[in-house]
């Protein structure tokens, strides 16, 4: 029997199939309309497309991305200013995507209606390309399982020990020193002569810093990328790490460094994110090689860890004092793929975001000398100078530096490392606002409908942040309480785990805290964790800022500081890096 269209049975079957599909669609559309009516929902504004299925918007998006342009300022933010804080746009072969920059809607999606808005298959398709199934790419019971695996390690405050950060900062300062001195810069002033570094891209060093701290923290294997980039410096390697690097290099040919592989993989993820349901179209050969490299590296380390643990008679009696995330995780799961996925994800989550924050912070300090001077005065008062340091840099002392906290917050507000977040409705449901002529009625959201949360636009709204919302002014944080209009770390049960814990407690406090935390029921634990928010993620950035400002007393921008370009890869970064020069403190 012939079942192909054109065969004897083919056409009737095809017609029948189409009719069934159409009837189902009509039925579901009618049900959804009734649902919207029952819930007093009105439609949100929609962008007008010149081509069917919103293809023109998609083509424009690709043109901007291909030219390494700024999708936020070129496409997304202006549409919010034109249509209001919640709108939708057509996407080929899918329901309209909703975009929102409204705190009430965002709160509902991330928190009060959390179960109705999982992350969905688009995120899994885009990020899973590199990190497979992990905390970030799964939903429901799988997510709960992964979060439970992560939590004890974070709650004990072991993620990123202080030594790893200190070592990272030492290497970074060595890398800056290795760049030498620009004898010619301001040579006419004897008090300045010989104190300025040459102009260089500080962002490159920041990326290496967060990579080194991250690989040490999560894998227990600092890749020493900062020292590796200094010509002539020989890195003192333990044999295990040398083997690890060799294994990773073999996967891709020695032509690629860890940092390069990382950038290529991030570019592919960014492209897959833009393509939404068609993410699978992106798999360029060089990115595939990069992903193989990164996964080879993580898998090798997971294998080493498992071998070490299996050699111990009783895994829980591991008496090795140096704990890493990988080791801690390996006590709970011995699945090598899971270990590889989770640790590689954690490295991605922590490295790019922290590097983005630090890059923007130093760019802002270069652009605003007043803020730099005020911040440095506070740091010197609390921690002393390079030559006369005052005590250890601890988490509590960092927290006490109010202007430092404001400066970090202001940077996270204007340039959030994660400017866009996404979810997908699991059921027909509603959002509290955005519908009707005044944009205040609830809107109906259909099962399967994708939603983009635009944190970037929300952080720049004048009605929420005042007339000077676009100005960099840390002082605005005086007396301002955090609410749902400030979400650099997201919110609700999936709030950034890095924002939940800290490394800067003393061992005694850390122990007491871990006992307290492990005794809490999970719901309360989540709330406590949110209260402890921002601690860890900001500690790594604060620590480096303090040490840099002790070391250098001026920073000067190089190039056009008034027209800073930005690009969204996995995180948002300054397109042209952080081109600056520093003046060593006298």
- Would you count residue 131 as binding ligand HEM (CB under 6 A)? no
| Minimum separation from the CB atom of position 409 to ligand HEM (A) | 11
- CB nearer to ligand HEM: pick between 353 and 485: 353
Phi-psi region of 426 (alpha: psi -120 to 50; beta: other; left: phi over 0): alpha
Contacts with ligand HEM: how many residues (CB under 6 A)?
A: 23
Q: What is the DSSP string of 240-259?
A: HHHHHHHHHHHHH-TT--HH
- Would you count residue 539 as binding ligand HEM (CB under 6 A)? no
Half-sphere exposure of 455 (CA within 13 A, CB side): 25
Contact 558, 368 (CB under 8 A): no
- Footprint of ligand HEM on 466-495 (CB under 6 A): 488-490, 494
- Would you count residue 135 as binding ligand HEM (CB under 6 A)? yes
C-beta neighbour count of 119 within 10 angstroms? 18
Query: Does the annotation list 496 as a binding residue?
Result: yes
Contact 398, 543 (CB under 8 A): yes
- CB nearer to ligand HEM: pick between 132 and 418: 418
Distance of CA 380 to the CA centre of its chain: 30
- Provide the 8-state DSSP code for 323: -
Indicate the Cα dihedral angle 337, 341, 343, 348, nearest 10°: 160
Contact 348, 548 (CB under 8 A): no
Nearest to 395 by CA among 159, 47, 78, 580: 159
What is the rounded CA–CA span in Å between residue 130 and residue 185? 44
- CB nearer to ligand HEM: pick between 41 and 578: 578
- Would you count residue 296 as binding ligand HEM (CB under 6 A)? no
Q: Among 291, 340, 414, 496, which residue interacts with ligand HEM (rule: CB under 6 A)?
A: 496
| Minimum separation from the CB atom of position 482 to ligand HEM (A) | 14
- Would you count residue 147 as binding ligand HEM (CB under 6 A)? yes
| Minimum separation from the CB atom of position 2 to ligand HEM (A) | 50
Helix 258-274, helix 120-131: angle, nearest 10: 160
Q: Among 41, 497, 546, 568, which residue interacts with ligand HEM (rule: CB under 6 A)?
A: 497
* φ, ψ for residue 184, nearest 5 deg: -80, -20
- CB nearer to ligand HEM: pick between 106 and 444: 106
Nearest to 585 by CA among 180, 298, 191, 24: 191
| Minimum separation from the CB atom of position 346 to ligand HEM (A) | 6
| Minimum separation from the CB atom of position 48 to ligand HEM (A) | 30
- CB nearer to ligand HEM: pick between 120 and 417: 417
- Would you count residue 418 as binding ligand HEM (CB under 6 A)? yes
| Minimum separation from the CB atom of position 117 to ligand HEM (A) | 10
- CB nearer to ligand HEM: pick between 41 and 330: 330
- Footprint of ligand HEM on 336-375 (CB under 6 A): 346, 349-350, 353-354, 357
Phi-psi region of 118 (alpha: psi -120 to 50; beta: other; left: phi over 0): beta
- Would you count residue 537 as binding ligand HEM (CB under 6 A)? yes
What is the rounded CA–CA span in Å between residue 452 and residue 114? 15
Nearest position to ligand HEM, beta carbon: 498
| Minimum separation from the CB atom of position 543 to ligand HEM (A) | 12
Q: Which two tokens stand for residue 247?
A: 């294994």
- CB nearer to ligand HEM: pick between 89 and 136: 136
- CB nearer to ligand HEM: pick between 483 and 560: 483
What is the rounded CA–CA span in Å between residue 575 and residue 363? 12
Contact 272, 126 (CB under 8 A): yes
What is the rounded CA–CA span in Å between residue 97 and residue 91? 7
| Minimum separation from the CB atom of position 177 to ligand HEM (A) | 26
| Minimum separation from the CB atom of position 94 to ligand HEM (A) | 20
Name the binding residues.
496
What is the binding site for ligand HEM (CB under 6 A)?
Answer: 135-136, 147, 150, 159, 346, 349-350, 353-354, 357, 417-418, 421, 488-490, 494, 496-498, 536-537
Name the binding residues for heme.
496
């Amino acid at each position: 029997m012939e079942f192909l269209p054109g065969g004897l049975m083919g056409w009737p079957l095809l017609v029948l199939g189409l009719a069934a599909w159409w009837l189902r669609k009509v039925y579901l559309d009618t049900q959804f309309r009734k649902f919207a009516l029952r819930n007093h929902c009105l439609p949100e504004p929609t962008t007008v497309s010149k081509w069917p299925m919103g293809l023109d918007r998609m083509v424009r998006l690709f043109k901007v991305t291909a030219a390494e342009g700024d999708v936020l300022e070129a496409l997304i933010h202006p549409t919010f200013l034109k249509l209001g804080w919640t709108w939708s746009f057509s996407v080929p072969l899918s329901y309209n995507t909703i975009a929102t920059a409204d705190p009430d809607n965002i709160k509902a999606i991330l928190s009060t209606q959390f179960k109705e808005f999982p992350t969905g298959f688009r995120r899994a398709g885009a990020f899973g390309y590199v990190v497979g199934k992990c905390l970030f790419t799964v939903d429901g019971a799988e997510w709960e399982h992964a979060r439970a695996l992560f939590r004890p390690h974070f709650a004990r405050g072991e993620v990123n020990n202080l030594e790893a950060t200190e070592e990272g900062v030492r290497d970074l300062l060595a890398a800056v020193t290795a760049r030498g001195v620009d004898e010619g810069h301001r040579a006419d002033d004897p008090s300045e002569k010989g104190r300025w570094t040459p102009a260089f891209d500080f962002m490159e060093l920041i990326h290496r810093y967060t990579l080194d701290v991250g690989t040490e923290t999560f894998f227990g294997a600092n890749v020493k990328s900062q020292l590796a980039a200094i010509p002539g410096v020989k890195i003192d390697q333990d044999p295990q790490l040398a083997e690890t690097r060799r294994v990773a290099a073999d996967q891709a040919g020695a032509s690629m460094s860890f940092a390069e592989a990382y950038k290529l993989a991030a570019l592919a993820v960014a492209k897959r994110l833009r393509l939404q349901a068609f993410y699978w179209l992106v798999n360029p050969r060089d990115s595939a090689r990069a992903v193989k490299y990164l996964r080879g590296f993580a898998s090798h380390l997971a294998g080493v860890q498992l071998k070490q643990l299996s050699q111990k008679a009783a895994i829980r009696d591991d008496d090795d004092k140096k704990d890493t995330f990988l080791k801690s995780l390996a006590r709970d799961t011995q699945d090598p793929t899971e270990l590889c996925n989770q640790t590689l994800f954690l490295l991605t989550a922590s490295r790019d975001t922290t590097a983005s924050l630090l890059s923007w912070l130093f760019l802002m300090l270069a652009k605003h000398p007043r803020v730099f001077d005020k911040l440095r005065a506070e740091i010197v008062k609390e921690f002393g100078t390079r030559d006369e340091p005052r005590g250890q840099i601890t988490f509590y002392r960092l927290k006490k530096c109010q202007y430092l906290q404001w400066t970090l917050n202001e940077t996270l507000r204007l340039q959030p490392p994660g400017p866009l977040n996404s979810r997908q409705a699991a059921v027909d449901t509603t959002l509290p606002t955005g519908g009707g002529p005044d944009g205040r009625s609830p809107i109906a959201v259909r099962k399967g409908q994708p939603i983009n949360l635009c944190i970037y636009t929300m952080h720049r709204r004048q009605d929420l942040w005042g007339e000077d919302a676009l100005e960099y002014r840390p002082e605005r944080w005086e007396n301002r309480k955090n609410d749902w209009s400030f979400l650099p770390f997201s919110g609700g049960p999936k709030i950034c785990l890095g924002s939940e814990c800290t490394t800067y407690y003393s061992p005694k406090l850390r122990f007491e805290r871990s006992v307290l935390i492990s005794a809490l029921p999970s719901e309360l634990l989540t709330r406590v964790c949110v209260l402890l928010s921002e601690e860890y993620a900001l500690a790594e950035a604060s620590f480096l800022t303090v040490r840099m400002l002790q070391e250098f007393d001026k920073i000067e921008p190089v190039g056009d500081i008034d027209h800073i370009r930005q690009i969204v890869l996995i995180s948002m970064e300054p397109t042209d890096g952080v081109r600056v020069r520093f003046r060593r403190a006298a």
